[in-house]
Chain A
């Protein structure tokens, strides 16, 4: 299988919990991977006396910080104070910088790249490394990249490191340090439940030391029950999405005018697709999941209503989630929130007839098929 297919599998990963550079470096330090010495600054007055020169790095979850002006260098205390002042509160591609990392300047002789990620097709960790680091891995030519699927039951063993060092043609002293780092990186990948742990660049200094100059860690959000130390960072989510997510709803804002509630991620996506194919625009994605609780259904309307849609489409295929439970929840929401918008409902499956009757008593139209409901809601919504 080609190298690029590996990358595709890795990039296809799901719900991500990204750690800031300084958090990742704390994990590295804890596991014994060498990192530059430094400290985090959240207020201008927090800067300390430090051996100059230093690097001042904005803590945001974006690649290419340097090019966007998010990294500065300081040779004196005045320069350090002015760099911190400039960066804190500044915006880099819509994200506000709230923390900066002040670090000793490293004397860079060589930049390498190393990462361990999940390869979904092989259901195994994959090691990727190259002696040409410091740039996006996608821009390195594939014959310069070493990849190796690691059997998770065998785990990391030195032969893997030896093969990588030989491929990268590292000098013996550098190779020895590289192998030690690789062993710890694999330990981090496992013990911290990583989807990805990446060092780019992994630097060889002027005096031959190998140091992690940056860190990127993505943690499996399903593993949080055993990693309470990590705070959830997701700069991509809107306040309404975060609010809905905190109440347990899978909710995404989109930019149309039809509110959507459905059960199951696949069916919810299919509902959005069907609307789009009818040249209609969904306002949101809301998956009720496998609930069979009328309150949960009713409360879900709160978030859809906050998004102020013109109409609301509810698409339910009853299984675990029974149709009468959903109907009761919809009727409850209608009276509780005083919903003025037209609500179009599709009910199929377990207890369909009971559900339809409950809705009829509340003056809500319902259809037995998805296509009729989609066409119905498109009609009442009118032109965009």
Chain B
């Protein structure tokens, strides 16, 4: 068992012949993901990696019975691609693309929500379910080992750093989810905490947060009330000066709100240990 995806997940890659799309579709297949079709406006009728049929539209892709899509098209075209996927009846949409206008993400999110579709991203590394051998997104496949630690994060590379630390400590992961670094993303910590709490494969949870907004504080309040499994956190940006945007659209401290101190305190109040360095995260795990 894993969350959001499993061994029956069948994936379409929208933009499978682009530079990013083709590289990551190949990596996903190498990990074991069942990529059943890809779309391309110009290369319909060909096969990707001699195996995966390339079609011109999501309607055509539905013939291969996909239930998830990875969108890897340029930012101005993401909204149209997502709407096409929603209209076709896909159940999970992961948007790899960065720099999507948040007004577009907002429209995609609410349309998806109306139809009970899960949206992941934009601007995140995706989802990897280790025991189901299903990876949708760009996480490097080699850092994982099957285990009982679920990880949710707002960042990309830092997630790999922490997963790597967990794996090197002799433990392993159940499902790893990158929520995305944009102001509007499909899933929140609370959404994934709900899933992790229910997931029999997950026994402990790592949350990787960063400065800006109040997502971590909301997650801490939720954990206090609803989560029985062990949760460990890491927060980055504690050295960031106020008013300076640290790369991610969300990572900024303004008027004293969204500081690392406030988030660490919220987690501590909820009984969640916060590691000082990524490498120390496993020290707090069972």
What is A's interface to B at a CB cutoff of 8 Å? 5, 7-9, 11-16, 118, 120-121, 123-125, 138, 151-153, 190, 193, 195, 220, 222-223, 225-226, 236, 250, 252, 254, 262-270, 272-277, 282, 285, 287, 290, 317-320, 348-350, 369-371
Contacts and interface: CB of A to CB of B under 8 A. Distances in A.
A148 to B, nearest CB: 16
A198 B285 CA distance: 46
Contacts of B181: 265-266
Given A269-B237, A273-B236, A264 B103 contact: no
Contact of B161 (A226, A236, A270): A270
B199 interface: no
Contacts of A252: 244-246
A272 B218 contact: no
A14 B258 contact: no
A191 B211 CA distance: 29
B245 A8 contact: no
Nearest to A154: B110
B159 A349 contact: no
B255 A11 contact: yes
A320 to B, nearest CB: 6
Contacts of A7: 257
Given A153-B111, A270-B158, A223 B101 contact: yes
Contacts of A12: 212-214, 250, 252, 254, 257-258
Identify the interface centre among A11, A16, A118, A225: most chain B CB within 10 Å of its CB. Answer: A11
Identify the interface centre among B100, B250, B276: most chain A CB within 10 Å of its CB. Answer: B250
Given A270-B158, A317-B161, A124 B106 contact: yes
B155 A193 contact: no
A213 B184 CA distance: 31
A38 to B, nearest CB: 30
Contacts of B154: 266
Contacts of A371: 277, 279
A193 B160 contact: no
Given A8-B258, A223-B103, A319 B76 contact: no
B183 A120 contact: yes
Closest 4 CB pairs of A and B: A266-B155, A265-B247, A264-B157, A266-B158
B89 interface: no
Contacts of A5: 214
A190 B76 contact: no
Interface in B262-282: 276-279
8 contacts: A7-B257, A120-B183, A264-B158, A265-B251, A266-B248, A270-B234, A273-B239, A319-B156
A62 to B, nearest CB: 12
Given A264-B157, A269-B247, 15 more contacts: A14-B183, A121-B188, A121-B214, A123-B105, A123-B106, A153-B114, A226-B101, A266-B155, A266-B159, A267-B161, A269-B246, A273-B236, A348-B161, A349-B143, A370-B278
Nearest to B105: A123
Nearest to B256: A11
Interface of B: 23, 75-76, 99-103, 105-107, 109-111, 114, 138-140, 142-143, 153-161, 164, 181, 183-184, 188, 208, 210-215, 218, 234, 236-241, 243-252, 254-255, 257-258, 276-279
A265 B248 CA distance: 6
A266 B238 CA distance: 11
A220 B161 contact: no
B140 A370 contact: no
A319 B184 contact: no
Contact of A8 (B188, B210, B214, B241): B214
Contact of A14 (B76, B158, B251, B277): B251
B183 A118 contact: yes
A350 B215 CA distance: 31
Contacts of A14: 183, 212, 245, 248-252
A28 B58 CA distance: 40
A242 B34 CA distance: 44
Identify the interface centre among A14, A152, A273, A318: most chain B CB within 10 Å of its CB. Answer: A14
Given A123-B184, A268-B246, A275-B239, A11 B110 contact: no
Contact of A370 (B105, B234, B279): B279
A235 to B, nearest CB: 11
Nearest to B190: A121
B101 A193 contact: yes
B157 A226 contact: no
A123 B153 contact: no
Identify the interface centre among A12, A151, A152: most chain B CB within 10 Å of its CB. Answer: A12
Contacts of A317: 157, 160-161, 164
A275 B236 CA distance: 12
Contacts of A269: 158, 210-211, 236-237, 239-240, 246-247, 251
A120 B249 CA distance: 12
Contacts of A370: 161, 277-279
Given A118-B102, A120-B213, A268 B247 contact: yes
Contact of A267 (B106, B109, B158): B158
Contacts of A222: 75, 99-102, 249
Nearest to B104: A223
B283 to A, nearest CB: 13
Nearest to A236: B243
A25 B107 CA distance: 27
A304 B161 CA distance: 24
Nearest to B186: A123
